[in-house]
Amino acid sequence: MTTAITPRPAHRARSTWWKTVTGLVLTAVMLFPVYWMLNVSFTREQDMRKSPPGLFPVHGTLEGYRAVLDQQLPYLGTSLVVGLGTVVLTVALAAPAGYALAKLRPRGGGVLSFLFLVAQMIPGIIMAMGFYAIYLSLGLLQSVPGLIVADSTLAVPFAVLIFTAFMSGIPEELLQAAKTDGAGSLRTFWSIVLPMSRNAVVTVSLFAFLWSWSDFVFASTLASGGAHQPITLGIYQYIGNNNQEWNAIMATAVVASLPAAVILVLAQRYVAAGVAAGAVKD
């Protein structure tokens, strides 16, 4: 009879200590650009060219953030509207499509799923050129609805795959019970499937918002020069016009990053459940 050898507590503690230190070092390296962005955003103009540069804004200033409030708020407002519009349109299109592929199983559903996967591989610049030609004839260039539709094309294929994977795990017994009670496919989707897919809805909404918020290709192609431009164009133009005011540029980047960071922190547990949907089958 053999006895299993368990690792000694001291060895286990050394292994855990080494992994913790390695993780902290890698995290610090990855987050250093974020820290430097914050540091520069509070640094005075006269301290910007110090050698060596200051690691902390000893004589901090809020001039950069005042510039953001004075000049960048319209861009932030446009990005917020476009982001929320993209979320609504993406969920409205992708949730029924995912339900159909997962539960109604239409003919050719496998081909459709493959096409959604292929659609995610199309470069954004190619789609932007196509949208430009279409919007030019429809009069939708430099418009908020045009940006919402364009940004949704990035999110919808991914969203359909997420909804399909998640909804495939909903027990068929629940749907059969609803059908026995006289509920049709639409009523079943609205009253049972969609409420049970909360994690998938949050996941899709988060990614759709982040993609829209950080989009530059569609924005520069379809909205450049218009009255409503997102924050990515605002930062780009601000760098071009004020390439010496780095505290204001970094302050704009900080403010532009906050909504996405806050949403990601608040929704992370729903995202983890939504992305893992369909990964394990009984």
CA 155 remoteness from chain centre: 9
Give the contacts of 145 (CB within 8 A, at least 6 positions apart). 85
Query: What pLDDT score does 44 carry?
Result: 82
pTM: 0.81
**Closest listed residue to residue 230, CA positions, set 217, 243, 240:** 217
**Closest listed residue to residue 178, CA positions, set 166, 167, 168, 190:** 190
For the segment 96-116, the average pLDDT, to the nearest whole number, is 87
3-state secondary structure 150-215: HHHHHHHHHHHHHHHHHHHCCCHHHHHHHHHCCCCHHHHHHHHHHHHCHHHHHHHHHHHHHHHHHC
Query: What pLDDT score does 243 carry?
Result: 62
Please list, residue by residue across 195-213, b when 16 or more beta carbons sit within 10 angstroms of its beta carbon and e when fewer do.
Answer: eebebbbbbbbbbbbbbbb
pLDDT tens-digit series, residues 141-182: 999 999 999 999 989 999 999 999 889 888 888 888 888 888
48 vs 109 pLDDT, higher one: 109
Which band of pLDDT confidence, cut at 50, 70 and 90, is reported for residue 242? low
